[in-house]
């Protein structure tokens, strides 16, 4: 049986608790945020009876009617759940950083009132939690990638999951993929759909690929697309993103977009082969089976 791990993530509002829980979820943890302290035992009992051996829980000032109850849970956890390896993380940041983050998100503080006074009150309430934590991470000057790296080292999950580039072909008439980070249009290229012998085929067919790439504009577009993605994709992952979605579109999503998605997929796979594989690559043809 794999080692049972329980990671409790607490800290100041705006210090990065949600980002850490997302990281844990990406690493295979079953995560629950802002669970009432009264339900923690029930959650762990359910996890014990299931195959969930790794659990992440987010707790803050909203998790208990009385913050002393939360402090008591923190203090007693290692004794109460002996079958779990428990790590209690506390995320902190200076007030100026927290105020800036709240200003960017335009969210109100959970304790209400003016932001400076709410932060002072929260810091005072959470001091017993901070003192009982196993590790304190200050995120004031951290990038997301640095936070992810430090959490991975503390939890012991570093290097398990590569970030992913999703290459998706689609048809504009069916809508742009809502999760796309990059959208590239191939509709300026001659359309194989108007060539009778090519119409029944898709962009996966060699004949369609040869037809598209016989045009100088297509070859130049391929060259510039590859160069941009070679430059941009590693930078996204350096900032801590778990995946990047690159969407290639044409009118119907069956010919030109499929050709370029296949080309880009193979190119990205080629640069990730060998010992310095920094991300994985996956290919989806969303609309290839759709017909007009």
> What architecture does CATH give domain 5-155?
3-Layer(aba) Sandwich (3.40)
pTM: 0.57
Higher pLDDT, 84 or 199: 199
pLDDT for 2 equals 62
The end-to-end CA distance of the chain, in Å, is 52
Task: Count CB atoms within 10 A of the CB of residue 271.
Answer: 17
pLDDT for 203 equals 95
Q: Range(s) for CATH 3.40.50.300 in the chain?
A: 5-155
Mean pLDDT within 195-201: 94
Mean pLDDT within 238-262: 89
CB burial string 89-125: b at 16+ within 10 A, e below:
bbbbbeeebbbebbeeeeeebebeeebeebbeebeeb
Task: Count CB atoms within 10 A of the CB of residue 242.
Answer: 17
What is the torsion angle, in degrees rounded to the nearest 10, for the CA atoms of residue 202, residue 206, residue 212 and residue 214? -170
Report the alpha-carbon angle 114-57-70, nearest 5: 60
Mean pLDDT within 133-160: 77
* pLDDT tens, position by position, 10-65: 888 888 888 899 888 888 888 988 877 777 777 877 877 777 788 888 887 766 55
């Amino acid at each position: 049986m794999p080692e049972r791990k329980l990671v409790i993530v607490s800290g100041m509002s705006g210090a990065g608790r949600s980002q850490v829980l997302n990281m844990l979820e990406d690493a295979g943890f079953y995560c629950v945020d802002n669970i009432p302290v009264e339900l923690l035992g029930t959650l762990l009992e359910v996890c014990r009876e299931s195959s969930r051996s790794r659990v992440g829980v987010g707790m803050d000032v909203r998790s208990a009617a009385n913050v002393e109850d939360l402090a008591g849970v923190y203090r007693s956890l290692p004794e109460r759940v002996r079958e779990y390896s428990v790590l209690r993380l506390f995320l902190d940041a200076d007030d100026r950083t927290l105020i800036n983050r709240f200003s960017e998100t335009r969210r109100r503080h959970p304790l209400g009132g003016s932001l400076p006074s709410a932060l002072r009150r929260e810091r005072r309430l959470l001091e017993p939690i901070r003192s009982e934590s196993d590790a304190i991470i200050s995120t004031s000057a951290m990038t997301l990638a640095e936070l992810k790296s430090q959490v991975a080292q503390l939890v012991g999950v570093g290097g398990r999951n590569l970030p992913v580039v999703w290459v998706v072909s689609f048809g504009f008439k069916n809508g742009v993929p809502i999760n796309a980070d990059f959208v590239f249009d191939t509709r300026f290229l001659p359309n194989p759909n108007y060539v009778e012998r090519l119409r029944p085929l898709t962009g996966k067919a060699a004949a369609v690929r040869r037809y598209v790439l016989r045009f100088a504009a297509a070859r130049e577009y391929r060259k510039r697309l590859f160069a941009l993605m070679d430059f941009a994709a590693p930078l996204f992952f350096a900032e801590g993103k778990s995946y990047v979605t690159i969407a290639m579109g044409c009118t119907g999503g069956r010919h030109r977009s499929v050709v370029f998605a296949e080309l880009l997929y193979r190119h990205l796979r080629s640069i990730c082969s060998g010992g310095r594989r920094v991300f994985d690559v996956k290919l989806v043809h969303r609309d290839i089976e759709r017909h007009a």
